[in-house]
Structures are given as structure tokens and as C-alpha cells.
Homo-oligomer: A and B are copies of this chain.
Amino acid sequence: MSRRSVRTERRLFLADGPKAVEGALSVDGCVVEVYATPTAVEQHADLLAGATVTVVDDRALASLSDAVSPAGLVALCRHVDAPLARVLDVSARLLAICADVRDPGNAGNVIRTADAAGADAVVLAGRSVDAYNPKTVRSTVGSLFHLPLALEPDPAAAVRAAQQRGLTVLAADGAGEVDLFDADLSGPTAWLFGNEAWGLPDELAALADHRVAIPIHGRAESLNLSTAAAVCLYASARAQRG
């Protein structure tokens, strides 16, 4: 059975390296089994206390791990996403919705940044990259396990659900009518981010309550997607917590 079929058919995936394994072990019922080399078992004894660990040799572990320099530690995990309704069924004040984000590094980095900025959840919507792609998982550096994640095929449904829960939806849009640093960001906010290359489709951006632009002071035409997300999420965190 190929690794891909394990991921999609049985809703299992691999978390690679100590930070990811530590994150996975912090989620109840997530880890099926940890595989570790004898060296890693010694080195990460604290992290692995209480976990079911299968000791394997370097070669067996390398066959499981995609990383260039595997740390000798991999966890086989159950998918961690939850239905949109449950992810939103909290007193969420800061949310990141990604529509059609295609690059695994960008998607993972948005999840990591949302975690750092104290967001309540992330929604990967539309035809976004597989959240369990090894590159996505690695780019989250453990944050995949730190905050609720929903996968929603219809981005418009995610926008409407957020609005119904009382969140103001702000579309990050270089052509937006509001300047990020003029916007009132103190209330509960869901940020809507589009695709790396073509941004947000007009009809989706139109569903948002406002379209917000990060000011460009130099000659760059735009910002990288996960960079833009970071500037927006931290502007919200600052306004909400200031």
C-alpha cells in the first residue's frame, strides 16, 4: 500500500521530527504509533514518556520519512481536522480562511503564523493543498496540532458560516478599499486569503464585509501570500489584545 493511499483512504498521515511528534502527542487520540531509532528514543525520552514507541533502525525510518535530515522520529497520526461547524462553535475572535492556497509551504506557514498570532482556528477552503501533504505538515513546525483546523470545499460556505457566528470577514486584497492600518480590527475577525497567483475571485471577495489592502510603500506589486497573512493576523492580534 503506498503512502498516499494510507493518507487518503484511512485518514492517516506522518508527522516527522520532534516538534511535530510532540504536537501530535498533545492531541488526544491523534497518534496511532511512534516510530523512533534507538538514538532518538534516548535523546527524546521526555517527549516520548507514556507514548507507544516502535524502535526501528535508521534505514526503516528513512523509508518512512521524507525529510532531508530525518531526526529519527516519526508519528503515524490520525487526521486532525474537524467539521467547520465545530471549529466555529467556540467564542472565536480570530480566524484565518485560506481559499485555494496551492503551495504546501504557504499553507503550512499560514497555520504556523495563525498559531503564533493566537488565532482560534484555520480553515483550508476550496481547492487548497492537502493539509496532510508532508511539506505542509513540515512547514507548520508542529502548529498543525496546536489549533483547530477545518477543511471546507466551498469557500463561500466558510465565509457565510463565519459571518453567522458574528465574525467580520475581511478579504485580504491588494486592490481593497480599506487600508489595513486604518481598519478597525478590534472586533472578532475572520481573514480571507486567496490563491498565491491570482488572489481572490471577485465574487468571493464581494461576500466579505470589507476588502482590506496592506499598503505598498515601495515598488513591489504585491506580497507573498503567507507574508501578507502574517501582517494581517498580527495587526488583528495587536488591535484585539492592545
Contact = CB atoms under 8 A, between A and B. Distances in A.
A116 B226 contact: no
Contacts of A19: 221
Interface string A173-211: 000000001000000000000000000000000000000
B112 A220 contact: yes
Given A181-B242, A234-B214, A234-B231, A112 B219 contact: no
Contacts of A23: 219
B218 A116 contact: yes
A146 B220 contact: yes
A84 interface: no
A99 to B, nearest CB: 20
A119 B220 CA distance: 11
Contacts of A181: 238, 242
A116 B216 contact: yes
B227 A119 contact: no
Interface string A5-42: 00000000000000100010000000000000000000
Copies in the complex: 2
Nearest to A242: B181
A217 interface: yes
Contact of A220 (B115, B220, B221, B223): B115
A114 to B, nearest CB: 8
Contact size range, A:
35 or more
A55 interface: no
Contacts of A146: 218-220
A3 interface: no
A193 B219 CA distance: 22
Contact of A141 (B118, B216, B221): B221
A219 B109 contact: no
A142 B230 contact: no
B218 A143 contact: yes
Interface in A228-242: 230-231, 234, 237-238, 241-242
Contact of A118 (B113, B147, B217, B234): B217
Give the 3 A-B CB pairs with smallest separation, nearest first.
A118-B217, A116-B220, A115-B218
9 contacts: A19-B221, A116-B214, A116-B216, A116-B218, A116-B223, A118-B217, A118-B218, A119-B218, A141-B220
